[in-house]
Amino acid sequence: MSLVFFLSLTVGGGLIIGFLTRPGEWYVGLSKPRFTPPDSIFAPVWTLLYITIAIAGWRTFTHDPLGATMIIWTIALALNFIWSPIFFGLRHPATALAVIVALLVCIVAFMWFSWPVDMLSSLLFAPYAAWVFFAAILNAAICRLNS
């Protein structure tokens, strides 16, 4: 599979899910912590992250398309893609928190397993790990403030 395929899958999938699960009035009405970034930050950050996720996935696929690291990458992408429909669509921040924690575990596992084989792919996931860690804290704070 080509890099174009991976970019289309991750960036395209992320954009479609983002479009279909816009935050809306429910999210606006939630109590949020002071460290919540402005809404305008999320789309550019996720677009850049999806590009790095795609590159790491493509590189991993070219090394070992059916290996454990590729399976972890796929699970991470699936968890990433279901978070928004759960949080914004179903309006279940607590369930979304469980998903994002599982996503963070997959991201760290991907970095761990890819490091010996392809350090660049591992490093491409570092900003992703940092952002998802922050997003998990934000998700947890929203749960706490709105329980």
Domain ranges, ordered by start, for the chain: 3-145
pLDDT at 143 > cutoff 90: yes
For domain 3-145, the question of CATH label 1.10.240.10 is answered with no
Query: What are the tens digits of pLDDT across the range 56-114?
Result: 999 999 999 999 999 999 999 999 999 999 999 999 999 999 999 999 999 999 999 99
- Please give the distance of CA 85 from its chain centroid, rounded to a whole number: 13
pLDDT range class, residue 33, cuts 50, 70, 90? very high
Helix (H, G, I), strand (E, B) or coil at 145: helix
How much is the pLDDT for 1? 81
DSSP 39-104: HHHHHHHHHHHHHHHHHHHHHHHHH-TTSHHHHHHHHHHHHHHHHHIIIIIS--HHHHHHHHHHHH
